Structure 1
Amino acid sequence: MGEERSVAAAARRWLRAGEGVPAVTVGCALAAVAAGETLVRGAGPHGNLAAVLLLTLATTLPLAFVLRSEGIGRAGTALALSAACVLALVPFRALTAAGVVAQLTCVYVLTRGGRPRLGGLLVVPYVIVALFGTEDATRIVAVLLATLASAAAATGVAHHARSTALAHSATERAFADTLLEHAARGERARIARELHDVVAHHISMIAVQAENARLTTSGLPSEGAARFLAIGDTARTALTEMRRLLGVLREDAQGTDGTGTRRRPQPGLGQLMELLDEAREAAGSTTRLIVSGPVAALDPGIEVTAYRIVQEALTNARRHAPGAAVDVELRYGDADLAVRVRDNGPGPAAAGSPGHGLLGMRERVATVGGTLRTGPAPGGGFLVEARLPVRAEALA
């Protein structure tokens, strides 16, 4: 009994794995031949009934394996089922409606699974029978089968193409979302690092000045000294908390940014001419700097933001409008600094949809309380225009 159970279990695993699919189907095809011979010889009503049952089994049972198996198993089973259907039709003229449905389903499943040639191969025997058959009834059935099978194959191919296109589209969207998230995360990290450096300097100065005022102011009441001491303690506490929150950007023991690269001072508007010279050399085009209004030293955070906006705008112009002339304009006002970068290229049509650079610029400008506008420039080209507050109270 134990051996019988083990044999039965092995047989079930064999069939479930698809290894026995071709053998089972070949057996069904041989059963179809035997059934056809029974019909031809006329073995009586009971024999004819058994033959019909065998034909039905041979032309329909393999469909279950076609639907469940993959790869070579599916292909071999489909070919065997098709052979059984052809044998049932020619020469025995005993193909059932269930066999026709199974044949059409096989063609559709194969083409939908990305095997259009194999699906078309199953149609060929019916085309041959339709062209060279000797009996009209058989030829009519063959023509019908060839037509329906061709339609099933076309439907399967269309379904496979649509599924493939949807899968590719989903992959591209996921990839684009990942790139966008990665770029946004990187830009936010860079902004945080720059704010860390700039704001830390100011908070440190508050602590130092409060301590100096407490120690150097003559005749300072004890209450005033206590207030200066509280200011210094609060500033140092705020500096500690800020550095803890931005610890991912803290310099390591060797004075690097965590990637082995030596940290440099944050750039400002004083380094803008160097940036423009690099842009001219890289793009080989004209790049002008136009400055208007009373030039004054600005908050370091504002200067870093203005520098990064110009840097990103020049990069975008070099990428989307190579060779185009670029004008960089700084307009100093009483309340804000206007930064305008304009190229005379083809405009936003060439740049396509908003990219990671524009997203980073918007986040950077929003961090300092400014505004940003991007789009087609009057008279052609592309324009990036930002307005940044210049007073310390505007940043609070």
Structure 2
Amino acid sequence: MLCDLATIMTILTLRFNKILSNLYKVPSVVRFKHVWTSDNVVKSPFKDIVVPELTVDEYVWRNLEKWPTKTAVVCGVTNRSYTYEEIYIQSRTLATNLIKKFKLGNGDVIGVMSHNIPEYPIVTFGILAAGGVVTTFNPLYTEYEVCRQIELSDVKLMIVHEDYVPVVKEAYKHAKKNIPIIIINIDKPLPENVTRLKELVEDDHVDLGILKQVNRKPSDIAVIPYSSGTTGLPKGVELTNRNLVSNCEQQNTDVRQYHYTTETHQDTALAILPLFHSYGLGIIMLHKMAAGLKLLTLPKFQPDTFLNSLKVHRTNILFAVPPMVLFLGTSLQVTPEHLASLRCITIGAAPLPIADVNKMISRFQNSNLVISQGYGMTEASPLVTLSLPDRTDYESVGYAIPNIELRVVDANMKNLGPGQVRY
């Protein structure tokens, strides 16, 4: 991907075209005369930002008073939903019980294993509010893969959707561990001797004062997602509060893709990409909740529920991967009615042929549709580059976002400039 980026950077211009919508209100920015320095370092063309000295938990809730009663998360299958205020209260209640009942200490690691559900933010922010570290598990993992991550991350407790409890229990046998399990139980009856998440988040008798003992700093680790393992087994990536807060703030600048949440307006973003992955966790859940958007969760891609969510919930923002774009461009199930509310589609995770983009565009009646491609990686929390709302060169992954510097190097780690070949 870096080689592709080098080619792309050589053709980037340093001007803005006409902005497609005044609603974006993109401010004027300070641009460098060239994105490449004399040392062959790629600089962001945007003005640097100042990163707030906050933990992720503090950052997400800093504007809670602006939208407490707005829907934060809704399930695209069951319509089960929570307001921002409800998630805040339930996550604090969970945090208190994690400390009191499970003796969670500052920096202890808790595993989360679930598909996308409205309770995912409650669990995540509850762990962070208790001073814990979140490590997210792929719900498709086998017991051996779960065992490996438990051991590598030194997990003290697991919060698991009921569908995956059998796999986790088998993993415990391999690891020879007896770690507590909190079960996210939605519909099925469970034995009395298990701990249900519902009991820990709807407890009216907790003393939230216990949270005063939590001591976490921006430099502390907040999340340990595991990389895809394309060059070997998945590796834990230690992301600090500052890493994640920085990436959220970087998305609030000239590359911003959402409209501001007001009393009369709230964008809806589809959360179909897995929240255990850095793309879904950082860009969709953490950042969009910090901005007061509504998240619409889907447990997996199924054509009927996917299209129904777009139409019924009038989704504005879609974060996609190439197979989803191909579906939108070729499936006979897709109608203009399904696509009527979509205003912005951001594509990542893999390169996308321009032919597939054009097929998708042909299905839209919205001439102001914004299509962006981006590049990122888990280690970068994860967004690195993003194309701007006014760009129509859909094969480009755009500019380095604020505060980002990039190098394209050869086998000896020597910086390469425009047009230079690595080998």
Higher strand share: 2
Q: Could you say which structure has the higher helix fraction?
A: 1
TM-score tier by shorter-chain length is: under 0.3
TM-score (norm 1): 0.20
State which structure, 1 or 2, has the greater radius of gyration over its C-alpha atoms.
1
Q: Which protein has greater RCO, CA pairs closer than 8 Å, 6+ apart?
A: 2
TM-score (norm 2): 0.19
